[in-house]
Amino acid sequence: MKIYFDGSSWMTGSELEDKSKRYSTLISKHFGAEEYNLASGGASNNRIVRQLVTENDIADYDLAIIQMSMAMRWEYYDDTQKEWVQLRPITQPSEKEHKKWLRYYYGHMYSNHFGTTYEHMFSQLVRDHCKVKGTPLILLTNRHADGFKYTTSPTNFKFDLDISDPKYPRERKGHPNEEGHQMICNDILDLLKK
Partner 1 sequence: MKTKIYFDGDSVTYGKELFDLSKRFSALVCEKLNAEEHNIALNGGSNRRVMRNLIDNLGKFDRYVIQMAKRSRTEWYDEDEDKWQIVTNQPVKSGNYDFWKRYYREIYHDNYGITDELICYNFIRALLVNVPHLILWSGDYDFNLPADLVYKKGSFPVRRGHPNEEGHQMICDDILNIWR
Burial class of residue 155, CB neighbours in 10 A (0-12, 13-18, 19+): middle
Based on the shown chain and the rule CB under 8 A, indicate whether residue 108 belongs to the binding site for partner 1.
yes
Q: Is 114 in the site for partner 1 (CB under 8 A)?
A: yes
Nearest approach, Cβ of residue 54 and partner 1 (Å): 5
How far apart are CB 129 and partner 1 at their closest, in Å? 5
- Distance separating alpha carbons of residues 20 and 24, to the nearest angstrom: 9
Closest residue by Cα to residue 33 from 129, 164, 136, 132: 136
Q: Is 53 in the site for partner 1 (CB under 8 A)?
A: yes
Helix axes 178-193, 23-31, angle to 10 degrees: 50
In 51-92, alpha helices (H): none
Dihedral sign of CA atoms 83, 79, 149, 121 in order: negative
Residue 144 binding partner 1, by CB under 8 A: no
Q: Determine if 59 is a binding residue for partner 1 (CB under 8 A).
A: no
Site for partner 1 contains 120 (CB under 8 A): yes
153 binds partner 1 (CB under 8 A): no
What are the helix (H) ranges across 35-111? 45-50, 96-104
**Count of chain residues binding partner 1 (CB under 8 A):** 28
Residues contributing to the site for partner 1 (CB under 8 A) = 49-50, 53-54, 76-79, 97-98, 101, 104-105, 108-109, 111, 113-114, 117-118, 120-121, 124-125, 128-129, 131-132
